[in-house]
Structure 1
Amino acid sequence: MATGELAGSRVLLPPPSSSLFVVVVFLLLAAVARDACALTRSDFPEGFAFGAGTSAFQVEGAAAEDGRKPSIWDTFTHQGDSPEGSTADVSADQYHHYKEDVKLMYDMGLDAYRFSISWPRLVPDGRGEINPKGLEYYNNLINELILHGIQPHVTIYHFDLPQVLQDEYGGILSSRFIEDYTAYAEVCFKNFGDRVKHWVTVNEPNIEPIGGYDNGSQPPRRCSYPFGTNCTGGDSSTEPYIVAHHLLLAHASAVSLYRQKYQAIQGGQIGLTLLGWWHEPRTDTPEDAAAAMRMNEFHIGWFMHPLVYGDYPPVMRHRVGSRLPSITASQSEKIRGSFDFIGINHYFVVRVQCDEGNGPKLRDYYVDAGVQNLGGEGFDKEHFQSLPWALGKLLDHLKLKYGNPPVIIHENGDGDSPETPSKIDYDDDFRSEFLQSYLQVLHMSIRNGSNARGYFVWSLLDVYEFLYGYNARFGLCGVDLTTAARTRYVRNSARWYSGFLRGGELRQPVTHPEKSYVAF
């Protein structure tokens, strides 16, 4: 037998004199050609949803228009706590440009748009009267999406708690939040559920308690020494766990309500969306390997374990002790299985190092997990890296540990930090390469049995970024933030994504001066 090499692998070939030789070579070359072809949406399962996303506070603008009242993020930014003192008062101004944005989605070929409903726009006082202008806006947006054949995937709560509830009873720290949130969720189900078939109860409940109540870097800026600075109050050792507990119970309450009153009639699905960092050891020591496993339990298991098994992970029960709230038998029954899908927002693999310390000391989330506190170190390349294989490992983890739930990748994307944030720049090939590499991993994960059902790019447009303000741009479509018109323009990555969705056909950008965006 003769041997040959193909694509770096040794392949046994029959002798050249054999008539089978030609057939085998043809088949092998066809396979190579197939592998070399660009991945397209046709490689994914039928019904797999491709889209892009934003959130209300980050994209809508119109912060004080038509009856909307402040959220805790409005208060935070107006206190000068965001990067460069920026606010989202106008941002991309989708409130006034939603029809243009839906046209961009349609031209791109998106199946779906993930967005959130602003609680302080729809129910400005947190409970009670519905704002008719807010109701009209979301009805108009949803109808425009449906008209263009685009699925609305709606997040009910995406960080923007009405400030009035924070002032009245401390917001999510109080169990009163659960009742008010459930009533607000019902307003959404009742008014939009005839057209919305994909609901997310809460966005990233596994990170909001850290930024808001442990290191105090995000609103409502609660923390305690030595875990945060410039906080007006708080207890980093207990409050993150209380807040997460209330978010979990609020989620379960809304799902129970939806299933009892609306799901059978409206035919939708409901879940929640977690931040999906994947933790790896910083070194090859056994201690760091164990620390990475613990962090995945503290980060993903914090919510996935109760959702699947009815209680917090055993490692958290052991290490946090009585500071971790108890889940009663009735609560456990309500929480377990309270999802039709799990949303995952994935950006980074996080390198963690064991830090068990010496002797008793003050405790917070990271001390409890026994790792170095990464909260104050920023997203440096040493600890936080965008590596596509991490998404595959995360999906394998969900498959093996939590029964392979239906998963939708609700956020995945890459940003840049231009020297001049307002610069109009079409050239973002780095983003196209990023998306292609992650989609390849996602495709392989599905072939290996992952139950992934959708993929959404963050973000449709340049928006106010919670961590960076306007110093980072993630948009497939750019927004000229220097003009009152907030002119949209299509970047190369949007054309790449459109080509992927259309089976490889790419369109060159064509400028239409008479329009407020650059068409495909």
Structure 2
Amino acid sequence: MKAYRFPEGFNWGTATASYQIEGGKGGRAPCIWDAFCKTEGRVVNGDNGDLACDHFTLYKEDVKIMKDMGLKNYRLSIAMPRIFPGGQGPANEEGIAFYNGLIDCLLDAGITPCVTLYHWDLPLELEMEHGGWQNYITVERFLEYAEVCFERFGDRVKSWLTFNEPWCAAVLGYGNGEMAPGCTSSDAVKVYRAGHHMLLGHARAVEIYRKKFRTAQNGVIGVTLNCNWTEPKPSDDPETAKLNAEAAERSVLWNLGWFADPVYKGDYPEVMRNRCGDRLPEFTADEKALLKGSSDFFGLNHYSTDYAEDDSGPGHYVSHWGTVNTGGFWGDMAVRGSTDPSWAKTDMGWPIVPWGFRKLLLWIQARYSPEGGIQVTENGAAVNEPTVDLAVDDKARIVYYEGYLKEMHAAIQLGADVRAYYAWSFMDNFEWAYGYSKRFGLVHVDYNTMKRTPKSSLKWFSKVLSTNTLERRLWLDV
């Protein structure tokens, strides 16, 4: 048995999101996901987030489980439509009271909250009246909401994230319609405009925090981005191998650099500017200055790895929901993704490739050298768990975590400044377009009774937390 010890002060945590666990109580108005769920054929089994895991009612029970497992960090999100039910102020005091209670409960249990301001649950009124992230009005409403959150919670919350995975919100929400609000854009104009507005919302929220709150509250603020690693598909032909290597790099820039380059370098990647032309919005000089350096750390959500091939024709991408998309965003990127038949897959169908995690962390370190280090804000696996007994004995999830943590440790040894890791997710929840058919949790949730049952992975992760060490067992080797 070999042990992999992590740096002193390394932060371990788990993560969830408001729409996925809280339910609709507490004066929460409809959001874009409520409307999406009610559209036939959008969500598996017609599931919705009306009750979810009823965390709104049961949060004290959930925090007790966290405390008992020795958790010290917990990433949650605030539901904008619970604070601003109509998309703008005044604030809903019932919603404020809920989050005050949750934050205080976490702190009383010795758990540090990391709070995400936007995890996809945009108030429906902003989408219906203004076109959501297509309209700068939504940026203005988001800034008003962010300031209320800083004012009301910032005396206790010391770690903030503005946006979770803007890539998903832009591409899947406004490009191919697989996520709320379910819009499509054959030329990707809506995709790039939504991403542009979220970047401006991020930068201006950070500006507000730094100018008005940071001195007194002494917190940090950033954004978290999602990215698979893309490995060049092997080829014996030198020219093909070269093109595939370029495609793999282009893919990471399109999926991660699209948002990270403006935050760390002040503008979009040059390859995007060249390929998209005037369909990619321009930043003003002031906006570039505001964006550059606008994250106190690099937030990263990572789950999987794909092979990349150059595709000089229309772009082809097989989505997580099995649909094939051509042209638009994918055509601009001109990368064909594929997998290796030898790679195992999670219940989501995502390849399990731990070494891709190491490569991505090192790529981020080399390109951005983030001053505040890298925080892995999500990583985890869906496992097929049709019964509670199978869920409790979730060795497959432990295997996934062990493989990815080993490679994260290797990346740290090779120079990646990784300082935090949050397992996704604390408990089973509403998995967006998959409804309740996929389970990522360390805690099993019976959606009929709301009973919580800790899984083997929670007990395993608890040991990692208490020892700051990953112990590799031969029977779980990957």
Aligned residues: 447
Answering whether residue 85 of structure 2 is matched by residue 119 of structure 1, we say no
Picking from 182, 199, 216, the partner of 2:143 is: 182
Aligned to 1:24: none
Greater Cα shift, 140-149 or 348-357 = 348-357
Map of 1:102-501 to 2, 5 A cutoff? 102-224=63-185, 235-284=186-235, 285-357=241-313, 363-372=327-336, 384-405=350-371, 406-418=373-385, 420=386, 425-483=391-449, 486-501=450-465
Distance 1:467 1:442 in 2: 29
The TM-score with structure 2 as length reference comes to 0.89
Counterpart AA for 1:416:
V
Greater Cα shift, 79-88 or 362-371 = 362-371
2:397 alignment partner, SS class: helix
Counterpart AA for 1:312:
Y
Distance 1:358 1:469 in 2: 31
Map of 1:72-111 to 2, 5 A cutoff? 72-80=32-40, 81-111=42-72
User: Where does structure 2 lack aligned partners over 5 or more consecutive residues?
Assistant: 236-240, 316-325, 471-478
Distance 1:245 1:435 in 2: 34
Counterpart AA for 1:476:
L
- Is the CA contact 1:38–1:504 (under 8 Å) kept in the aligned structure 2? no
- Is the CA contact 1:416–1:474 (under 8 Å) kept in the aligned structure 2? yes
Closer, same or farther: CA 202–488 of 1 in aligned 2, 3 Å: same
Distance 1:70 1:424 in 2: 35
Counterpart AA for 1:463:
N
2:224 alignment partner, SS class: strand
Distance 2:469 2:181 in 1: 47
User: Where does structure 1 lack aligned partners over 5 or more consecutive residues?
Assistant: 1-35, 225-234, 507-520
Greater Cα shift, 124-133 or 251-260 = 124-133
Which of structures 1 and 2 has the larger relative contact order (alpha carbons within 8 angstroms, sep 6+)?
Answer: 2
Answering whether residue 15 of structure 2 is matched by residue 49 of structure 1, we say no
Counterpart AA for 2:413:
R
Larger Rg: 1
2:152 alignment partner, SS class: helix
Deviation, 1:222, is: 1.1
2:166 alignment partner, SS class: coil
Which one has the bigger helix percentage?
Answer: 2
**Alignment root-mean-square deviation, CA:** 2.2
The TM-score with structure 1 as length reference comes to 0.82
Closer, same or farther: CA 421–371 of 1 in aligned 2, 3 Å: farther
Q: Which runs of 4+ in 1 moved over 4 A?
A: 379-384, 421-424
Deviation track 1:164-211 (CA, whole Å, cap 9, x = no partner) reads 111111010001111111110001100000000100000001221110
Distance 2:87 2:250 in 1: 37
Closer, same or farther: CA 207–425 of 1 in aligned 2, 3 Å: closer
1:385 alignment partner, SS class: coil
1:502 alignment partner, SS class: helix
Counterpart AA for 1:302:
W
Deviation, 1:152, is: 0.3
Distance 2:37 2:298 in 1: 30
Identity of aligned residues (%): 41
Aligned to 2:319: none
1:353 alignment partner, SS class: strand
Counterpart AA for 1:322:
D
- Is the CA contact 2:3–2:469 (under 8 Å) kept in the aligned structure 1? no
